[in-house]
Amino acid sequence: MMNENCDLDFPVENVVEGDVKVLVPRLKAFVRSRSEYAPSKAPVFYNPVMELNRDIAVLALQAYQRMVNREIVVCEPLGGCGIRGIRFAVEVGGVKEVLINDINAKAFELAKCNVEINKLSDRVKLANEDANYLLSMHGAPRKRFDAIDIDPFGSPVPYMDSALRALRNGGFLALTATDMAPLCGVYPKACVRRYYGKPLRTEYCHELAVRLLAGCLALTAAKYDIGVEFMFSHSTDHYIRVYARIAHGAKRADESIKNMGYIAHCFTCFHRESHKGLFADTLPLKCPECGARLSFSGPLWLGKIADKKFCELMEKELLEKRLGQKGKVKKILALVKSEVDAPPTYYVIDKLCDTLNLQVPSLRTVLDGLRGEGFEAFLTHFNTRGVKSSVPAAKFKEVLCEILLSAGKF
């Protein structure tokens, strides 16, 4: 058995993920009912649903390593059982060293077992510290990391400052946020407190969530004269994820700030528009299409949330990797790459048609109809029924009616 040399006081089981074999808490042993969230009940946090997250993280880190073309040192300050950091060490070429940390003593012991099981003691180091304390200890220039991956249970905001200071110039930062209720507008006050931005409960709230997280990172980085470039982002299931490369310098920080702004939304007619600028003193109050009062989300990031060349690097690496969620990863990569140059926000066809009391046409028909009118139109990974386009809401409604009229369904 893999766990014969591990002295743990809680039940564990063996799992295989990617190219590694590890011990994880036997989640079924810690819940009494189906409604309980098993990962939060276990003495060490482990979520099997996040395998897709970890698969994409492996590809993104490998793509970054190919970009810099040298050995890299990686830190996972919230390591849990260590599966993510161990996968980095095994599956990503060019990784010189990985530091896995967790403040939980049982997590530290389990991660130690997993490092030994995978025979990685020479390249994977372990720490049992507070995450911010650990990162702060690596804030000096010659102690910084090339890449840091923060995957918390909740918001990554408490770790942003120390992570930015612990990254070398040109470093790579990955952030997960699972607190979707605040980010999607259910608890707007909590979102303002954590992310410096106001959310909206719109049909495209998951994209707003990514942009709020990205904007928060850009503003936090600017305090230290650091600029950010977002290489890849995605929204999947119960979480969002951003990958950013940082660059030191006040000019870089100023360029990042230029990508901050607001999205205005009309809940009466679905009109939406973007306004760049960190301050909201010149934002319009009334919808230009119907005259109703506009609502706003922001300040948030209005720049690109992915880079096409980086997506292509990830797709190339996908061909070489053995991933458990390879099919899903391939689809996400293709969609994110296709919408890199699309405008912010998207229309959800079903919601629009339901409001207008129209039958729902196929996505392909809608895309063709918009393009036939001279508008760009893109599918989006944010929603399987979503369409990204610069078309005004009023014109979009006209196109939908024309499509249904020509099909004899209107």
pLDDT tens-digit map of 386-399: 999 999 999 999 99
pLDDT for the residue numbered 409 = 64
| Number of other residues whose CB lies within 10 A of the CB of residue 60 | 24
Taking the complete model, does pTM exceed 0.75, yes or no?
yes
Residue 305 covered by a domain? no
Residue 141 covered by a domain? no
Rg (CA), the chain: 23
pLDDT for the residue numbered 405 = 80
Residue 137 covered by a domain? no
Q: Work out the burial of residue 142: count CB atoms within 10 Å of its CB; fewer than 13 is exposed, 13-18 middle, 19 or more buried.
A: exposed
pLDDT for the residue numbered 281 = 79
What are the φ and ψ backbone dihedral angles of 154, each rounded to 5 degrees?
125, -130
Give the residue carrying structure tokens 């339901």.
354
Structural domain harbouring 392: 346-410
Helices and strands, number each (H, E), in the chain = 15, 15
Residue 20 covered by a domain? no
| Beta carbons of 145 and 85 less than 8 angstroms apart | no
Give dist(CA 131, CA 150) in Å, integer.
Answer: 10
Q: How far is CA 245 from CA 152, 173, 229, 386, in A?
A: 19, 6, 5, 28
The enclosing domain of 394 has a CATH number of 3.30.56.70
pLDDT for the residue numbered 408 = 64
Structural domain count of the chain: 1
Residue 340 covered by a domain? no
Could you tell me the two tokens for 335? 């969609």
Torsion sign, CA atoms 32, 22, 93, 136:
positive
Residue 258 covered by a domain? no
Give dist(CA 162, CA 139) in Å, integer.
Answer: 8
| Number of other residues whose CB lies within 10 A of the CB of residue 309 | 12
pLDDT for the residue numbered 1 = 40
Residue 16 covered by a domain? no
Residue 239 covered by a domain? no
Low-confidence spans in the chain with pLDDT less than 70 = 1-5, 35-36, 38, 407-410
Give dist(CA 127, CA 111) in Å, integer.
Answer: 10
